[in-house]
Amino acid sequence: MPNQQKLSLPIMGCGTWAWGNQLLWGYDQSMDDELQAVFNLCVNNGVTLFDTGDSYGTGRLKGRSEILLGKFTQEYTGVNQENICLATKLAAYPWRLTKKSMISACAASAQRLGRNVDLVQMHWSTGNYAPWQEWPLLDGLAELYEKGLVKGVGLSNYGPKRLQKVHQKFADRGVPITTVQVQYSLLSTYPVTQLGLKQVCDELGIKMIAYSPLCLGLLTGKYSENSSFPKGIRRVLFPQLLPGISQLLACLREIAQFRNKTMSQVAINWCICKGTIPIPGAKNLAQAQENIGALGWQLDSGEIAELDQAAANSDKQMVQNIFQTG
């Protein structure tokens, strides 16, 4: 019988994307201790959805992102403890070809987390390059729900057309899709403004999760064209994007000053006002506290319209995930 237990999701989650990337540099006990403090602070303030993936912190680290998240969950005691929701994304690796491979992958994630996965998600669709691989993997996710091994099933990097096909297939067997996770921010409105994903999600009763709501930190106001950029993708992307988004950053800054908030808090609140669940990363207490400051208030309709217009007028947009489907 299908799992009838309702999966409760908060208005904002705390993504572990930053944890996964940071952990690739190696093990550091002091860093782990601070991340535990970050976790505790989030849960204590009602942020109880934590998103990770079985491809974060892999290789020699042996799935350390999930291991740490499980450890933090087990060691936390206090308010909202019973509301903690652990979400993980299972990668559509080329060697995962059957539903059993996804069931086994979820079991491995559960072992690393030290408890059953609450929300299991397909990390990306193979529809753009290997559509024949996708359906067996999705069958595995559906079976996890039917067996009561997870409370909810979600998708990641799916557009409305692909979502509707999967939704129909799952509905035929009584399996609801709880969430769809896409890259969404003031600099990445494509899934909503061009694909119309949010409207489809609303029609189907699916929550939309917004990953990278601060656009890799570009919307924090920390960087300018004269900044020295971090290594990696930011060093490549930021010099290309910054010259074309000055109006948007100025609008963010003006509203933040008027509201006595930070630019990050305004950018995250904008995502919330758009009816999504943003999952900003937090790798230290200062960042977590700032993210939490996006809660408990709302931008008004005029401010949202100003930000929408500034975003639409930007000469540059964030590069879309290559796995994003239509």
Catalytic positions are: 56
* Contact by Cβ (8 Å): 238, 218: yes
- State whether the Cα torsion 6-10-283-219 is positive or negative: positive
Tokens of 281: 């990363």
The amino acid occupying position 43 is V
Strands of the sheet with 13-15, listed across from one edge? 13-15, 49-53, 85-90, 119-122, 152-156, 177-183, 207-211, 276-279
Give SS3 for 91: coil
Q: Which of 267, 274, 265 is nearest to 245 (CA)?
A: 267
CA 312 to CA 188: how far, in whole Å? 10
Say if CB 204 and CB 177 are below 8 A apart: yes
Burial class (CB in 10 A: 0-12, 13-18, 19+), 80: middle
* Strands (E) located in the chain: 13-15, 49-53, 85-90, 119-122, 152-156, 177-183, 207-211, 276-279
CA dist., res. 173 & res. 142, Å (int) = 8
In single-letter form, the type of residue at position 157 comes to N
The answer to whether the CB of 185 falls within 8 A of the CB of 318 is yes
